[in-house]
Amino acid sequence: MERNVRILGAPTDYGANRRGVDMGPSAIRYAGLAGELESAGVSPTDAGDFAVPHHATRDADAGAANAKHVQEVEEVTTSLADAVSTALAEGTTPLALGGDHSIAIGSMVGSARDADIGVIWFDAHGDFNTPSTSPSGNVHGMPLAAALGVGDFEGVEWANADGLKEENVAIVGLRSVDGAEAEEIRDTDVTVYTMSDIDERGITDVTNDALDVATDGTDGVHISLDLDWLDPREAPGVGTPVRGGVTYREAHAAMELVARSEAMRSFELVEVNPILDEHNETATLATELAASAFGKRIL
């Protein structure tokens, strides 16, 4: 049976500290997302973008202390959560386009609304800060902690993914983490595979182990793919690049394993910033990786 995919654009930069990432959904579409998905054998439908007021029209400090634009993040992610939940209820797979990584709060909340889910977080960063630990106050560094109800996010209904447990979360490719954030991660049952693990064991073994973590006793897996997971030489158009990331081929191999598992419940592409990109290279890469995650093969 052909898989139906619903594209949901969340053009927000509320959670980031560099402007331009709000144009990510448009750049990814322009790079040929629909065609790549069709080449993977799925049927995409584009639901358009959510209406997101420009950040300059809002007060970044109007909400919680050291959580910039948190009220706006709540608005966007609540809308996205509803759209993700609706897509799943209607038998389609939601594909969210960021925008910065704060949108993942909505993706996870929506995906976990009526199911127990796992999460694989392909990212250079842990995104496990809270307002109390964050050096910057940027919410794109907080979505995993928010979804799991860690620290300041405990009991925050709009941000907590009720069907998600720490033991079903795997971070893959970590290579940049703040000091207090690292302590938060160590105090949880989240599984972390650093770039050193990938160097020593290879992307295939690490991704398969991450899938085992995320599928253990769950109804499906949310895949969160931050393009800064890749080395900046492969993906230059990101706001927080970190040298030493995965290669083009390693990234495709991981997404191919995701497809082969048939466990993916929801998917997101985040942190593509066309202002920082070179000839839309990162957006094009995002479309290709999405196609691999949805089953595109060489033969």
User: Could you say which of 22, 36, 49, 127 is catalytic?
Assistant: 127
Q: Does 123 carry a binding-site annotation?
A: yes
How many CB atoms neighbour CB 253 within 10 A? 17
* Residues 46, 26: Cα–Cα separation, whole Å: 12
User: Among residues 39, 45, 48, 71, which one has the least CA distance to residue 58?
Assistant: 71
User: Could you say which of 36, 74, 226, 277 is catalytic?
Assistant: 226
User: Could you say which of 36, 184, 234, 271 is catalytic?
Assistant: 271
User: Could you say which of 74, 123, 181, 256 is catalytic?
Assistant: 123
User: Could you say which of 69, 101, 222, 252 is catalytic?
Assistant: 101
Residue 72's contacts (CB-CB under 8 Å, 6 or more residues apart) are 12, 14, 52, 53, 55, 58
User: Could you say which of 13, 49, 100, 228 is catalytic?
Assistant: 228
> Is 252 tagged catalytic?
no
Contact 292, 122 (CB under 8 A): no
Q: Does 228 carry a binding-site annotation?
A: yes
How many CB atoms neighbour CB 118 within 10 A? 29
User: Could you say which of 55, 69, 140, 222 is catalytic?
Assistant: 140
* Residues 246, 176: Cα–Cα separation, whole Å: 13
> Is 127 tagged catalytic?
yes
> Is 123 tagged catalytic?
yes
- Is the previous residue joined to 99 through a cis bond, with omega within 30 degrees of 0? yes
> Is 125 tagged catalytic?
yes
Contact 216, 167 (CB under 8 A): yes
* Residues 183, 169: Cα–Cα separation, whole Å: 16
Q: Does 226 carry a binding-site annotation?
A: yes
> Is 222 tagged catalytic?
no
> Is 55 tagged catalytic?
no
> Is 279 tagged catalytic?
no
- Which residues are catalytic, by number? 101, 123, 125, 127, 140, 226, 228, 271
Residues contributing to the annotated binding site for Mn(2+): 101, 123, 125, 127, 226, 228
Residues contributing to the annotated binding site: 101, 123, 125, 127, 226, 228
